[in-house]
Amino acid sequence: MNGIDAPESAQLCLDPAGKKYRCGQKASLALADFLEAHRPTSCVEVDRDQFRRMMAVCTAGGVDIGEWVVKKGYAVDWSKYGAGFYDKAETDARKAKYGPWAGSFDRPWKWRKQMTVN
């Protein structure tokens, strides 16, 4: 989706007590539940990334999926691709301490970069 990035399925985050959990897996499951409850879904292509993958704005039941996942703390705003479109949703999630914002985590693009170095 355009303008967001979510933790990878193997990515670990720390909860407020410092315990590791699979935040990417948790985000994936939450998105699946959301999509099951909000039909129909549709996407509009807005760009292509450096790998020529489609970047799209998607809705489910009239709800912007990107905004929902960021606002719930399951993804972060990725201004490199969305020019900060979901910045307010991220700020709301951070203030509410949703998802990884309750503890600590690496931004998904930084985590991926670390994995390619190691």
Query: Which pLDDT score is estimated for 80?
Result: 77
Alpha helices in 38-103 (DSSP H): 65-71, 79-82, 87-96
Query: Which pLDDT score is estimated for 118?
Result: 59
- Has residue 26 been placed in a domain? yes
Q: 53-105: per-residue pLDDT in tens? A: 899 999 999 999 999 999 999 999 988 777 889 999 999 999 999 999 999 99
CATH code of the domain in which 37 resides: 2.40.50.90
User: Domain containing 45: what range?
Assistant: 1-11+20-92
pTM of structure: 0.90
- Has residue 100 been placed in a domain? no
- Which of 50, 49, 44 minimizes the C-alpha distance to 65? 44
Please check the confidence at residue 20 and state whether its pLDDT lies above 80: yes
CA separation for the pair 74, 55 (Å, rounded): 18
State how far Cα 24 lies from the chain centre. 9
